[in-house]
Amino acid sequence: TAIPPHNLTEVTDAVIHVLDNPDATVDDLCNFIKGPDFPTGGIIYNSQDIKSAYATGKGRVVIRAVAEIEETKGGKFKIIVTEIPYQQNKATLVERIAELVKTKKIIGISDLRDESSREGVRVVIELKKDAYPKKILNQLYKYTSLQTAFNLNTVALVDGIQPRLLTLKEMISYFIDHRKIVVRRRTEFELKKAKDRAHILEGLLIATANIDKVIKTIKESKDRDTAKKSLIKLFKLSELQAEAILMMRLQSLAALERYKIEEEYKALKKLIKELETILKDPKKILAIIKEETIEIKEKYGDERRTRVVKGGIDEFNQEDLIPNEPAIVALTTSNYIKRMPPATYRSQARGGKGIIGMTTRDEDVVEHLMLTNTHDNMLFFTNRGRVFQSKVYDIPVGQRTGKGQALVNVIQMAPDEKVTAMVNLSNFKDMAGYLFMATKKGFVKKTEIEQFKVARKSGLIAVKLKQDDELSWVKSTSGKEDMILVTRDGKAIRFSEKEVRPMGRATSGVRGIKLSKEDFVIGIDTAPKDGEVLVVMENGYGKRTEVSQYTKHHRGGSGIKVAAITPKTGNIVDMRIRDNFEGDLVVMSENGQVIRIPVSSVSKIGRATQGVRIMSLKDDDKVTSIASMELGDETEEDDSKKEIAEKPKALFKDSEVSAKKLDKKVKTVAKLVKSKKVINKPKPDKLKSRKLVSKKSTAKKTVKKPIVKKQVKKVVIKKTISKKVVKNSKKK
């Protein structure tokens, strides 16, 4: 027998429901009894399993501890366990967690403390700064007694003889039958007791009514037995009545005592009648059971301690504990990787210098930058033609200026391997589509995405490479699109994807473009009909060009010109093709400089042009990669023009000037400021803001002098303002 504890309030409600509805089903009772209620609390998963156990008498209930994740001041997290599963030892649990950390079964725990007291359980698990708290909590559920199962087996002795496996309805029904027996036996006992007392009171009432005869009979009797027999014979009493009369005290002869005896007798007669009615009517017994059940509920009922959730524990995997939110993944040439939130990079105006996006090691640069979601599958393709798979949430979180962690901590690469392409796939449920690959020497192939479903952290062959060739780019496609392949020296070719037949993973592919001796492929993308091609060059230049300017050819050709490549622009480093470039563009340099700009700020110009500057770089810095983002942020505003417009109005120190004269002076000095002929201008931070009040209808209206913290220096104008200049300044 293994019957778990339940909540008294819920059980009494179920009993009352069966009393009112004898034909109630297990499903009906489950509306009252949610499941077991353990004194140690916890969470029970899958209410359907509980219903099944109640319906059959056997089942398995999964219990989890209650744990909360709290963030500390230093940006770290800690897991606090406040409730543990039923019948689990806290000390053993702490020892098990310590063992898992020591054997590196769980990585990311920095400290473990037991802070439990009389107030309750409290186990604190502190995490490292780069640890993902929900992931570690899920591992603790998996490897420790923070998650256990209670095997329910409701075997009981029916009628005290036969062991039987009972359903919830049967248990409650047998309990009610037991209560019927208890109430009946209790009523019978109380009835017998009341009748016995009433019988004695009847004798006492006879004695008090004939007190003189009773006293005379007792006085004339030789002994107690003679007196008892005389009373029985004289008043037709029973032995119990005669004995009670002999036991009477003299105080009972008082009138008040006689009245009390009479009232007690009347009450007993009424009680006897009620008890006899109860025994004759089964409904009366059920009513008593219900009344007493309600009384127990009101007196001892309490709140449930163990929570019950509908979902099964098998439905809660690691991803369910990790929010699916946008993330930027950055990978360097030395295979250091990190994951960051998109808000790390605020949007700026085109041509800005950006912010430090990553602190790289010496001779290490950021090579891949991609916008993903934490639940996505990330495929890593290496120069040796192998592919590795990892969830984005398994990639360590890093700070904006941090260098990240070695990629070998995420996937099992060989020491001489280097990731050359990353593909982000939401899931493998919809397998329709292909992965289109391009090698450094211009060979292409396409393979069904389904063949990469078995990709793992230990790696699979993605493409069979020719000698001295490397896999350089991979793109997911539908199999019926146009492809544009771009090279480092500014060549591009557009051809139909249908010209490349689907191939298996361990194949070499076909030629996509003819390359010059020093040239190599830097990117390939699908070409929507009304799309635009965005190219970025290593010296911070970029541009957008309509796809229609890229004429379609057969694969294997030499291609056409993409941009005017000059020493000023540098070679092409990356490209993107979109049918809608709404959103932002993130550009990252070798030295870790990052800028985020609206894509719309990049000029749309012809195919054979050199583009416009989109990022200012130092002499020893070059652009390495880009990423397009749909998440915008507020753009930093350049307030220089606003400041120039406000400065002339703040230059005057006249106490009162007319609105017309002020307008003349403002316009005149504005021209001189523009021509750099005004010196000793006050700094704007010394002027307090104010409103200039003027009305065209009344020229006499004046404007008060600007309020200044310190006396503003006298304005010196090197060139005399002629009347002609003032006159011309009236024109708008």
């985020």: which residue's tokens? 596
Instruction: Give the model's pLDDT for residue 99.
Output: 93
Where does residue 367 fall: left (phi above 0), alpha (psi -120 to 50 degrees), or beta otherwise? alpha
Whether residue 225 is found in the same domain as residue 364 = no
Instruction: Give the model's pLDDT for residue 321.
Output: 55
Helices 168-209 and 282-300 pack at an angle, to 10 degrees, of 110
Quickly state the pLDDT bin for 369 (edges 50, 70, 90): confident
Q: Strand 572-578: give its sheet, edge to edge.
A: 572-578, 532-537, 541-546, 612-613
Q: Averaging pLDDT over each range in 74-78, 284-288, 609-613, 671-675, which range is the top one?
A: 284-288
Q: What is the pLDDT of residues 100-113, one digit of tens each?
A: 999 888 888 999 99
Whether residue 83 is found in the same domain as residue 214 = no
Strand partners, 510: 444
- Residue 587 within any structural domain of the chain: yes
Q: What is the pLDDT of residues 125-178, one digit of tens each?
A: 999 877 778 788 888 998 999 999 999 999 998 887 888 999 999 999 999 999
Whether residue 99 is found in the same domain as residue 224 = no
Indicate the pairing of strand 147-153 with strand 123-127: unpaired
Assigned token pair, 453 = 């479903």
- Residue 293 within any structural domain of the chain: no
The last residue of one of the domains, among 96, 119, 145, is: 145
Whether residue 354 is found in the same domain as residue 493 = yes
Instruction: Give the model's pLDDT for residue 285.
Output: 94
Task: Give DSSP secondary structure letters for 216-245.
Answer: HHHHH-SSHHHHHHHHHHHHT--HHHHHHH
Q: What is the pLDDT of residues 39-69, one digit of tens each?
A: 999 999 877 888 889 999 999 888 999 998 8
Mean pLDDT computed over every residue of the chain: 79
Helices 255-280 and 282-300 pack at an angle, to 10 degrees, of 110
Q: Averaging pLDDT over each range in 168-182, 197-211, 395-409, 638-652, which range is the top one?
A: 168-182
Q: What is the 3-state secondary structure (H, E, C) of 450-506?
A: HHHCCCCCCCEECCCCCCCCCEEEEEEECCCCEEEEEECCCEEEEEEHHHCCECCCC
Mean pLDDT calculated for residue range 689-712: 40
Q: Tell me the backbone φ, ψ of residue 145, rounded to 5 degrees.
A: -80, 15
Instruction: Give the model's pLDDT for residue 688.
Output: 38
Instruction: Give the model's pLDDT for residue 626.
Output: 83
Q: Radius of gyration (Cα) for the chain, nearest Å?
A: 46
Instruction: Give the model's pLDDT for residue 348.
Output: 52
Instruction: Give the model's pLDDT for residue 253.
Output: 67
Instruction: Give the model's pLDDT for residue 629.
Output: 62
CATH number of the domain that 229 lies in?
A: 1.10.268.10
Mean pLDDT calculated for residue range 237-253: 82
Given a cut of 50, whether residue 634 has pLDDT beyond it is: no
Whether residue 114 is found in the same domain as residue 262 = no
Strand partners, 483: 495, 526
Instruction: Give the model's pLDDT for residue 114.
Output: 92
Quickly state the pLDDT bin for 710 (edges 50, 70, 90): very low
* Percent over 90 (pLDDT), the chain: 30
Given a cut of 70, whether residue 383 has pLDDT beyond it is: yes
Instruction: Give the model's pLDDT for residue 427.
Output: 66
Instruction: Give the model's pLDDT for residue 696.
Output: 39
In terms of pLDDT, which residue wins out, 460 or 659?
460
**DSSP letter (8 states) at residue 667:** H
- Residue 8 within any structural domain of the chain: no
Quickly state the pLDDT bin for 364 (edges 50, 70, 90): low
CB atoms within 10 A of CB 375: 18
Cα–Cα distance, 127 to 80 (Å, whole number): 11
Instruction: Give the model's pLDDT for residue 637.
Output: 39
- Residue 693 within any structural domain of the chain: yes
* Percent over 70 (pLDDT), the chain: 78
- Residue 553 within any structural domain of the chain: yes
Instruction: Give the model's pLDDT for residue 407.
Output: 85
Given a cut of 90, whether residue 71 has pLDDT beyond it is: no
Whether the CB-CB separation of 436 and 497 falls below 8 Å is answered with yes
CATH number of the domain that 478 lies in?
A: 2.120.10.90
């912010």: which residue's tokens? 355
Cα–Cα distance, 197 to 275 (Å, whole number): 14
The last residue of one of the domains, among 257, 283, 309, is: 283
Whether the CB-CB separation of 441 and 509 falls below 8 Å is answered with no
Whether the CB-CB separation of 503 and 509 falls below 8 Å is answered with yes
Whether residue 368 is found in the same domain as residue 411 = yes
Whether residue 614 is found in the same domain as residue 482 = yes
- Residue 584 within any structural domain of the chain: yes
Q: What is the pLDDT of residues 204-217, one digit of tens each?
A: 888 888 888 888 88
Helices 8-20 and 282-300 pack at an angle, to 10 degrees, of 160
Given a cut of 50, whether residue 304 has pLDDT beyond it is: yes
Instruction: Give the model's pLDDT for residue 594.
Output: 84
Whether residue 397 is found in the same domain as residue 533 = yes
Whether the CB-CB separation of 521 and 473 falls below 8 Å is answered with yes
Whether residue 420 is found in the same domain as residue 509 = yes
Instruction: Give the model's pLDDT for residue 376.
Output: 87
Whether the CB-CB separation of 348 and 635 falls below 8 Å is answered with yes
Burial of 447 (C-beta count, 10 Å sphere; 0-12/13-18/19+): buried
Given a cut of 70, whether residue 674 has pLDDT beyond it is: no
The last residue of one of the domains, among 145, 160, 195, is: 145
Whether residue 332 is found in the same domain as residue 279 = no
Q: What is the pLDDT of residues 445-457, one digit of tens each?
A: 999 888 887 777 6
Cα–Cα distance, 164 to 155 (Å, whole number): 5
Task: Give DSSP secondary structure letters for 37-71.
Answer: --TT--EEE-HHHHHHHHHHSEEEEEEE-EEEEEE
Whether the CB-CB separation of 687 and 666 falls below 8 Å is answered with no
Q: What is the pLDDT of residues 545-600, one digit of tens each?
A: 999 899 889 998 988 989 888 989 999 998 888 877 777 888 888 888 888 888 88
Cα–Cα distance, 382 to 417 (Å, whole number): 6
Quickly state the pLDDT bin for 630 (edges 50, 70, 90): low
Q: What is the pLDDT of residues 474-494, one digit of tens each?
A: 888 888 888 999 999 999 999
Instruction: Give the model's pLDDT for residue 411.
Output: 86
Mean pLDDT calculated for residue range 300-306: 92
Whether residue 623 is found in the same domain as residue 679 = no
Under DSSP, is residue 626 helix (H, G, I), strand (E, B) or coil? strand
- Residue 154 within any structural domain of the chain: no
In terms of pLDDT, which residue wins out, 320 or 516?
516
CATH number of the domain that 133 lies in?
A: 3.30.1360.40
């009648």: which residue's tokens? 273
Nearest to 459 by CA among 521, 380, 512, 396: 380
Indicate the pairing of strand 155-158 with strand 162-165: antiparallel
Helices 239-246 and 168-209 pack at an angle, to 10 degrees, of 60
Instruction: Give the model's pLDDT for residue 159.
Output: 80
Given a cut of 70, whether residue 35 has pLDDT beyond it is: yes
How many domains are there within the chain?
A: 4
Given a cut of 80, whether residue 228 has pLDDT beyond it is: yes
- Residue 161 within any structural domain of the chain: no
Q: What is the 3-state secondary structure (H, E, C) of 382-443?
A: ECCCEEEEEEHHHCCECCCCCCCEEHHHCCCCCCCCCEEEEEEECCCCCCCCEEEEEECCCE
Whether residue 617 is found in the same domain as residue 663 = no
Instruction: Give the model's pLDDT for residue 608.
Output: 86
Given a cut of 80, whether residue 255 has pLDDT beyond it is: no
Instruction: Give the model's pLDDT for residue 495.
Output: 92
Long-range Cβ contacts of 170-178 (<8 Å, 24+ apart) = 172/14, 172/15, 172/18, 172/29, 173/18, 175/15, 176/15, 176/18, 176/19, 176/289
Instruction: Give the model's pLDDT for residue 400.
Output: 64
Residues of the domain holding 227? 185-283
Under DSSP, is residue 595 helix (H, G, I), strand (E, B) or coil? strand
